């Protein structure tokens, strides 16, 4: 399989903003909704290019969902983005009733997701958003691996999908390693590395860590498959069932609570189709804390070395 190289660190939030801008350039019905943190979530790219199509309503996230729903009912394609703790959690009831129940094509951006937000602390570290969003009927849940993929998947979500879409992305600059010519299909996972001893299934920023963990495992004589699950809902059952059948062991990795997240989605598929030994790596049912991103990633086990060690433990059982 291809040897992935870091083209340079870049925030996935920047990729999201670039994707919105690209989609808006092709679709005049795209409108942006801001809630006072436009630049922080990279929506300033759209606002600067299309000021007449951008609406800033202040710090009123729940109201932003209602405005987005109204615009969608009027034939527009609204993109509403803020920190994931606000866009996915504070607004849940509004999204459920106004957007999902009516099956409206509203794009919801969940920025600053995961523990890597760092100094902002527990209140701003979204670690439950995947669980909430994937439980809502009709909601598509996307979690791109890097900035390039974030740009591509955002543009596709806006101009090619229908119904509600939640896109999760982070603040910190992370390795940007995927090719702009990559084959990308929403609803289909990506096989980044073949392997027959076990499967590492990762999403978001943790995909790069999983690739690095696979290299460490290879040095120990272990052939690990690596799958990028950029679409968490609808989940790609085929790639997961194949992984369970062909490797018999799956380790999932996500910057999210272990309960209800991507790992739970994988377990639902595997347990009902081809049971295999599994380990779900993520936040162990607790809140984060304030600190430098790299310190928090190390402390809570979101590193390639931790994935490597946990995989060895599973293999020894």
Model confidence pLDDT, tens digit, residues 177-205: 999 888 899 999 999 999 999 999 999 99
Indicate whether 84 pLDDT > 80. yes
Mean pLDDT of the chain: 96
Query: 58: phi > 0 → left, psi -120 to 50 → alpha, else beta; which?
Result: left
Pairing of strands 77-83, 107-111: parallel
The structural domains of the chain, with segments of one domain joined by +, span: 9-175, 190-316
* Signed CA dihedral, 89, 131, 109, 251: sign only: positive
pTM comes to 0.96
Q: Residue 210: CB partners within 8 Å, gap ≥ 6?
A: 200, 201, 202, 226, 253, 304, 307
Is residue 307 within a helix (H) or strand (E), and if so which, with residue range? helix 304-316
Distances (CA, A) of 76 to 163, 198, 244, 290: 12, 45, 42, 39
Bridge partners, 206 (sequence order): none
Q: What is the pLDDT of residue 127?
A: 97
**pLDDT tier, 259 (very low <50, low <70, confident <90, very high otherwise):** very high
Count of other CB atoms within 10 angstroms of residue 204? 32
Indicate whether 316 pLDDT > 70. yes
Does a cis peptide bond (omega within 30 degrees of 0) precede residue 234?
Answer: yes
* DSSP secondary structure letter of residue 260: S
**pLDDT tier, 4 (very low <50, low <70, confident <90, very high otherwise):** confident
What average pLDDT does this structure show over 291-311? 95
**CA angle at 63 for the pair 58 and 69, rounded to the nearest 5°:** 125
Q: What is the pLDDT of residues 202-240, one digit of tens each?
A: 999 999 999 999 999 999 999 999 999 999 999 999 999
Judged by average pLDDT, the poorest of 70-79, 106-115, 174-183 is 174-183
CATH fold of 190-316: Rossmann fold (3.40.50)
What average pLDDT does this structure show over 51-77? 96
Q: Residue 294: CB partners within 8 Å, gap ≥ 6?
A: none
CB-based contact 145:208 (threshold 8 Å): yes
Q: What is the pLDDT of residue 182?
A: 86
Q: Do domains 9-175 and 190-316 have the same CATH topology?
A: yes
CB-based contact 34:63 (threshold 8 Å): no
- Give the whole-angstrom CA distance, residue 209 versus residue 17: 24
CATH fold of 9-175: Rossmann fold (3.40.50)
């Amino acid at each position: 399989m291809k040897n992935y190289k870091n083209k340079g660190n870049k925030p996935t939030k920047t990729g999201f903003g670039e994707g919105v801008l690209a989609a808006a350039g092709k679709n005049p019905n795209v409108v942006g909704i801001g809630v006072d943190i436009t630049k922080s979530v990279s929506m300033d790219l759209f606002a600067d290019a299309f000021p007449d199509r951008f609406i800033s309503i202040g710090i009123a996230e729940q109201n932003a969902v209602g405005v987005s729903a109204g615009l969608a009912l009027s034939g527009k394609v609204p993109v509403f983005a803020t920190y994931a703790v606000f866009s996915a959690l504070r607004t849940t009831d509004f999204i459920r009733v106004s957007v999902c129940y009516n099956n409206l094509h509203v794009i919801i951006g969940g920025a600053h997701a995961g523990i890597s937000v760092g100094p902002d602390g527990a209140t701003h570290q979204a670690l439950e958003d995947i669980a909430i969003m994937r439980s809502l009927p009709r909601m598509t849940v996307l979690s791109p691996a890097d900035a390039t993929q974030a740009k591509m998947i955002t543009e596709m979500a806006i101009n090619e999908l229908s119904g509600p879409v939640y896109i999760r992305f982070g603040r910190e600059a992370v390795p940007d390693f995927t090719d702009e010519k990559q084959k990308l299909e929403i609803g289909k996972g990506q096989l980044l590395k073949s392997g027959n001893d076990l499967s590492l299934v990762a999403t978001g920023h943790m995909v790069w860590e999983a690739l690095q963990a696979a290299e460490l495992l290879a040095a120990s004589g272990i052939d690990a498959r690596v799958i990028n699950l950029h679409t968490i809902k609808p989940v790609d059952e085929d790639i997961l069932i194949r992984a369970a059948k062909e490797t018999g062991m799956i380790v999932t990795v996500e910057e999210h609570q272990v309960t209800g997240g991507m790992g739970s989605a994988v377990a639902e598929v595997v347990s009902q189709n081809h049971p295999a030994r599994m380990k779900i790596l993520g936040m162990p049912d607790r809140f984060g804390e304030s600190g430098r991103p790299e310190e928090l990633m190390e402390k809570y086990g979101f590193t390639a070395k931790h994935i490597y060690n946990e995989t060895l433990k599973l293999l020894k059982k």
